Amino acid sequence: MKSKFAITLGFLALGLSAAPGQEVKLNIPGQPAAPAAAPAKPAFSDAQLIEEFGWFVGKRVGLAELELSPEEIATFLKGLSAAAGGKDSPYELEKIGPAMDEFMQKKQAAYLAKLKNKSMAENVAFFAKLKENKAVVELPSGLRYEIVAPGSGPAPKPSETVKVHYTGKLLDGSTFDSSVERKEPAEFQLDQVIPGWTEGLQKLSKGGKIKLYVPPHLAYGDDGRPGIPPGSTLIFDVELLDIKPAAAAAPAAPGAK
């Protein structure tokens, strides 16, 4: 081991550790070595990295959704500091756990109710304004739609598979999903999606384009989805690229009832 280590140092001293194809530079005795390049300055300080990590943790656990008061935030930081210091839980988890779950559920329920009420007020104002657009058709279900390009041929049936390009937006104009941005059309059986799509796309022919205004009860209701708050009205721009007939049922086996 000792002789091998010495040989390795010898090669490094002669500058012969270059990879194949690289220039080999010799360190000639008496010739000053080239000054080492100064290390690059870090893009962020340790303090900035720790601050960002704190934000990331708070965002991932949904602290904003709990709407904690300044006093509650201070108490939360007290517990966080204890955990960071390697201290034991201030209370017995087996005893405090159920009460903590109930407390957190109430906080989350209050936040979701607030979002729902906000969405309901926005929905009422939006649909009242939409009535001014004479190109928009309102159906008994509450779905509104506007034919942008009619297409040709028959409309799809609920049991058929449609191939579409679409962009879905919230009332504030933000996009929550888009096959156009992904550059990949979507395919699905028409009766396997939200009711607003099932009903709306039956108003369109192949090659056509439609704009759907889907109220929450025909979308995701009070549940919401990632990027979609509870009680949201959804706006879709849809292009119907193709319609594929439903697969034929397999013939019954002889003697089957």
Q: Which of 177, 210, 213, 228 is catalytic?
A: 177
pTM higher than 0.75 for the full model?
Answer: no
Is residue 194 annotated as part of the catalytic site, yes or no?
Answer: yes
**Farthest CA pair distance, the chain:** 100
Q: Which fold has domain 137-244?
A: Chitinase A; domain 3 (3.10.50)
Q: Give the start-to-end residue ranges of the domains of the chain.
A: 46-127, 137-244
How confident is the model at residue 33, as a pLDDT?
62
Is residue 56 annotated as part of the catalytic site, yes or no?
Answer: no
Burial class (CB in 10 A: 0-12, 13-18, 19+), 234: buried
- Burial of 139-162, coded b for 16+ CB within 10 Å and e otherwise, reads eeebbbbbbeeebeeebbeeebbb
Looking at residue 231, its amino acid is G
What pLDDT digit, counting tens, does each position of 108-158 carry?
A: 889 888 888 999 999 999 999 999 999 999 999 999 999 999 999 999 999
Residue numbers of the chain with a pLDDT score lower than 70: 1-35, 247-257
How confident is the model at residue 18, as a pLDDT?
44
How confident is the model at residue 30, as a pLDDT?
58
Instruction: Using alpha carbons, select from 233, 133, 240 the residue that is nearest to residue 188.
Output: 240
Q: Which of 147, 176, 222, 237 is catalytic?
A: 176
Is residue 220 annotated as part of the catalytic site, yes or no?
Answer: yes
What is the signed CA dihedral for 68, 70, 76, 80, rounded to 10 degrees? 130
Instruction: Using alpha carbons, select from 135, 224, 221, 239 the residue that is nearest to residue 178.
Output: 239
d(CA 194, CA 234): 11
Is residue 228 annotated as part of the catalytic site, yes or no?
Answer: no
How confident is the model at residue 24, as a pLDDT?
44
Element (H, E) at 188: strand 186-189
78, 183, 205, 238, 244 from 149: Cα distances, Å? 60, 21, 9, 10, 20
Is residue 111 annotated as part of the catalytic site, yes or no?
Answer: no
